[in-house]
Amino acid sequence: MAWQRVLSAATRPALRTARSLATRGYHAVGSSSAPLVGDTWNRVNNQTLRALGTFSCRSLHGTSEKLQAAPVPQAVALSKLTDNFLDGTSSVYLEELQRAWEADPKSVDPSWDTFFKNFTGIAESAPGVSGQTIQESMRLLLLVRAYQVNGHMKAKLDPLGLDVRTPPVELDPALYGFTEADLDREFFLGVWRMAGFLSENRPIQTLRAILNRLERAYCGTIGYEYMHIPDREKCNWLRDKIETQEPGKYGSTRRARILDRLVWGTNFESFVAQKWAATKRFGLEGCETLIPGMKELIDYAADRGVESVVIGMTHRARLNVLGNVVRKPLRQIFSEFTGGIRPADEAGYTGSGDVKYHLGTSYDRPTSSGKRIHLSLVANPSHLEAVNPVVIGKTRAKQYYSHDKDRSKTMAILIHGDGSFSGQGVVYETLHLSDLPNYTTGGTVHIILNNQVAFTTDPKSSRSSPYCTDVAKALNAPIFHVNGDDVEAVVHACELAAEWRSKFKADVVVDIVCYRRFGHNEIDEPSFTQPTMYQVIKNHPTSLQIYEKKLVELGQLTQEEIKAIEDRVYSILNEEFNNSKDYVPKTRDWLSAYWGGFKGPEQLSRIRNTGVKPEILKSVGKSLSTIPEGFTPHRAVKRIYQSRAQSIETGQGVDWATAEALAFATLLVEGNHVRLSGQDVERGTFSHRHAVLHDQQTGAKYVPLDHVMMDQEDEMFTVSNSSLSEFGVLGFELGYSMENPNSLVLWEAQFGDFANGAQVIFDQFLSSGEAKWLRQAGLVVLLPHGYDGQGPEHSSARLERYLQAADDNPYVIPEMDPSLRKQIQEVNWQVVNVTTPANYFHVLRRQIHRDFRKPLIVMSPKNLLRHAACKSNLSEFDDVQGHDGFDKQGTRFKRLIKDYNFESVREESVRRLILCSGKVYYELDELRQSAQLKDLAICRVEQLCPFPWDLILRELNRYPNAEIVWCQEEPMNMGGFTYIAPRLATALKSAGRGAYEDIKYVGRPPSAATATGFGSLHVEEQKELVHKALQDAPIKNGLTA
Ligand SMILES: Cc1ncc(C[n+]2csc(CCOP(=O)(O)OP(=O)(O)O)c2C)c(N)n1
Ligand SMILES: [Mg+2]
């Protein structure tokens, strides 16, 4: 636009002088010297402002340094504008513009038309502005802009008044050459295509009125940051809301409701403090205004069609939010406080439990306008912010299942602490999912309980950015900082956030600047580390006292009315406390509608077969290997698809990727949802999956698995490349998987070892979530694993870590009778290292074909993806009696694959039984075949955890004279060995075959690095271990020294 060009031209000479003109008073407290704005225009403005500082003489704000008197602005003809404010080019440009306007006023932008009318004095409605110089016009605009960009730095945000910030010099009219004498002069302010007060039909205003307006809008108890958003429509929308709406103009009914909610928020804490004085509750004191803020946010969202809200939050304020926002019955909360009675109806499935401030819950809550809204607060571990992606994934799944395509029915709210929001990387990883097509939830409302301290650490030691919210700027989220003592401002900011989310379906942040009245928890002493802050806090009134005083002063409520509200709240709290003594919780409170009929570990669930009718296999097989007419795939991909089609047609040579696609397709036709996400999963890191085809001429995409049924719903099969985040994306998929059990949700790591970036999700959620929170999850985690000489970072998925987290007892053989067996229901998760495509197919299908859900960790292969021997026949996938794969029970996942050479129950001649898992099997078998060794048996432990006791015992008994070897390619301190050894020893003992020291280990020696980085050494090591496992002589290294 014209004015932009003029300005940027004007900037150049200004920039030249900027360096020498110093930044007098420019550095605001808490800010760096770098401009705080993101887009070029704003950067230009800041530079210009500094340059224009030459003209500023007297500070209207009384900044600490005295500025010199400003020259009185004089009207200057355009043709004379050759000073260093406008260089030659821009004045020529202006003159051209003026000539065009003189010839035809309509030929220029309407704002210039108005401008020139005023400038030349012909505007009818512009008395008194004809003396306004072009410099003044521009400087005035810069001043307005400065408020929009930096007004928040002068806002009154800190309730304690400790964060003394010098108002930024950009907000000083003197910087722009204005003096007191100008305050009552009228100025013309063009529309400049901006919303807000500039767009009102009042182009002429006094400087005083303009400044008042800006101060009120930007420097009150809400500080707005939005000028980093590079979108005119969004900025204008916000400008309109900020500059033309008066926050806090609420009527008496509304105020009474806000007060009522604030009373609940405040008195809940004091009541609990009084009843359980010595118990940690991580109270909300100091930020009680969160409760009315959240409730108004939810009411507002409900009025705009939101039916369900998923909430994730930290320890702080959790009980208050549970009771007052989610409306978990207070008697239940109080009962849990008293020590909690274990659920009575299904004793056994009570898990390990968790501390009260981690538990989640969900309820249907009526809103003030008579609607109902479903609220769920997701259970979470102590690890701050780790719940964020889980909440977002769950929200997305809810949207999928409620056909909420425009994402208006379900939304997420995340509540954060100031320290954790700026400190934890998962915050950023989650924010970054917000606009990805397969991960977006249409915007999350983030609320920060910014109590200006993290445990004992001050903000200046815990973050490098001025605000704790600055990370959200990277995602162009608007940020509303609000003084937590001003309840109406908090309510206003929360409403605005809900409105933003509803309008733009994007993230937004409300930063409630508050304080923490007590220590980190109630039994902590805060004055050890924050003495001055706590002196102030001691005498600081509560936000409730402040609000009550205000309402009484305004004459909106009397002291008696306020007391009546407080008495009512107290009596309900007391009543609930009394009722809590008899409260008996129901275990199944946690089950959402979709989980009805699912079984806990105490209820026996029969094992089902997973074979599929041959005709279904053929028909889905056809759709998943067919490329539509006119689509031009890459040549190599075409070949892969041809061989896929051929394997289905002939029933022979089905490879890994085809088996996976068959598992997905058969689950889809059975009505399940399938979702696979992770880095580069569409093609597959190892270029084997090709789930998405790319037309080599048009770039169009085709996903065969979207077409296994007629009119298949769009997202029913989802395969999606993710952002390059493990923690965020795994957390997201975990949350997604927990919503509905009829979904097969998979996350694939690029290489298995990268999963350690998501360790918190494995440790805190996946392996222990069911025990702690009684929440089941059937998430599948695919971790590429195997020693192919790719070096220490791409060989091992760290199998040992998943096995170490397994909770089955190595020394106790559980009930293994197939009709009574609950082993797999009782263990916390399953870990497999599967060696055939058919077994992979069945283990995936097994996830869904059972009445409970259990996480599945798969060590998935790399070189087996193309290995000639790693193929299955289609008959191993079907349910036809007599076909390979069909055994006594039918066709199902094989937890252990016995040696194909030996069938009898007793094979006395076998001198060694090699137990192994994963791809090393093929290397062992290859050497055995080439060496024609007949007296060696090799069994594959396909499911390491839970340990297949029955099958191991069967094999031990089959080979009564065999030496027992565990062979692995990983180092001794890694892989399956440390998990297998004690269990194998227990089995040996039970079979009367020996003890721990009778187990022979063949594998790499203990090592710090997972693998060698030297390719040749890898080959040597691998060869050596395979040869050793098959050597003639007995193996020496038993497990004792
Ligand atoms: C990932 C993680 N690291 C450390 C802790 C220990 N911890 C618990 S609360 C807390 C301070 C959190 O500060 P802030 O986010 O500002 O929340 P506040 O307690 O002030 O509400 C810390 C360090 C934790 N729970 N999680
Ligand atoms: Mg804090």
Ligand 2 ion: nearby residues, β-carbon < 5 Å: 417-419, 451, 454
pLDDT number for residue 1: 31
pLDDT number for residue 48: 36
| Atom 13 in ligand 1: residue holding the nearest Cα | 454
The token pair at 526 is 């805060």
Question: Which of ligand 1's atoms lies nearest the C-alpha of 516?
Answer: 20
Q: Name which of 892, 896, 894 is nearest 915 in CA terms.
A: 896
| Atom 20 in ligand 1: residue holding the nearest Cα | 454
Centre of ligand 1 from the C-alpha of residue 382, in Å: 8
φ and ψ of 598, to 5 deg: -80, 150
Centre of ligand 1 from the C-alpha of residue 417, in Å: 7
- The DSSP call for residue 180 is G
Considering every ligand atom, which ligand is closest to the CA of 419? 1
Neighbours of 1037 (CB within 10 A): 13
What are the average pLDDT values for consecutive 10-residue runs of the chain, which has 1041 residues? Answer: 32 31 30 32 35 34 39 42 41 71 80 66 50 82 95 98 92 95 86 71 81 95 97 95 80 93 97 87 94 96 95 92 92 81 51 64 85 91 97 98 97 98 98 98 98 95 97 97 98 97 98 95 90 96 98 93 95 95 68 77 87 97 96 97 97 98 98 98 97 98 97 96 98 97 97 97 96 91 96 96 98 94 95 98 98 97 96 96 86 96 95 98 98 97 98 97 97 97 98 94 96 95 96 79 39
Centre of ligand 2 from the C-alpha of residue 417, in Å: 5
Question: Which of ligand 1's atoms lies nearest the C-alpha of 450?
Answer: 16
Partners of residue 363 on adjacent β-strands: 375
Distance CA 211, CA 999 (A): 84
Centre of ligand 2 from the C-alpha of residue 291, in Å: 17
Q: Name which of 736, 855, 735, 745 is nearest 802 in CA terms.
A: 855
Residue 269 is which amino acid? E
CA dihedral 487, 493, 498, 501 (to 10 degrees): -160
Centre of ligand 1 from the C-alpha of residue 420, in Å: 6
Distance CA 226, CA 509 (A): 11
Considering every ligand atom, which ligand is closest to the CA of 451? 2
pLDDT tens string 432-488: 999 999 999 999 999 999 999 999 999 999 999 999 999 999 999 999 999 999 999
Distance CA 1030, CA 923 (A): 11
The token pair at 339 is 């020590």
Centre of ligand 2 from the C-alpha of residue 515, in Å: 8
% of the chain with per-residue pLDDT over 70: 85
Q: Name which of 322, 227, 305 is nearest 265 in CA terms.
A: 322
Question: Which of ligand 1's atoms lies nearest the C-alpha of 760?
Answer: 1
| Atom 23 in ligand 1: residue holding the nearest Cα | 455
Considering every ligand atom, which ligand is closest to the CA of 420? 1
What is the pairing mode between strands 743-748 and 673-678? parallel
Distance CA 126, CA 322 (A): 58
Q: Are 208 and 185 in contact (CB under 8 A)?
A: no
Centre of ligand 2 from the C-alpha of residue 520, in Å: 9
Centre of ligand 1 from the C-alpha of residue 760, in Å: 15
Centre of ligand 2 from the C-alpha of residue 359, in Å: 21
pLDDT number for residue 839: 98
Mutating to test ligand 1, I would choose from 455, 518, 520 the residue with most ligand atoms within 8 A of its C-beta, which is 455
Considering every ligand atom, which ligand is closest to the CA of 355? 1
From the centroid of its chain, how far is CA 438?
Answer: 13
Mutating to test ligand 1, I would choose from 285, 319, 384, 463 the residue with most ligand atoms within 8 A of its C-beta, which is 384
Centre of ligand 2 from the C-alpha of residue 451, in Å: 5
Question: Which of ligand 1's atoms lies nearest the C-alpha of 416?
Answer: 15
Number of helices and strands in the chain (H, E): 32, 26
Contacts (Cβ under 8 Å, ≥6 apart) of 378 = 310, 311, 312, 360, 387, 390, 391, 394, 735
From the centroid of its chain, how far is CA 200?
Answer: 40
pLDDT number for residue 5: 28
Considering every ligand atom, which ligand is closest to the CA of 315? 1
pLDDT number for residue 190: 66
Question: Which of ligand 1's atoms lies nearest the C-alpha of 417?
Answer: 15
Ligand 1 contacts (CB < 6 A) are: 316, 382-384, 417-420, 449, 451, 453-455, 520
Question: Which of ligand 1's atoms lies nearest the C-alpha of 385?
Answer: 1
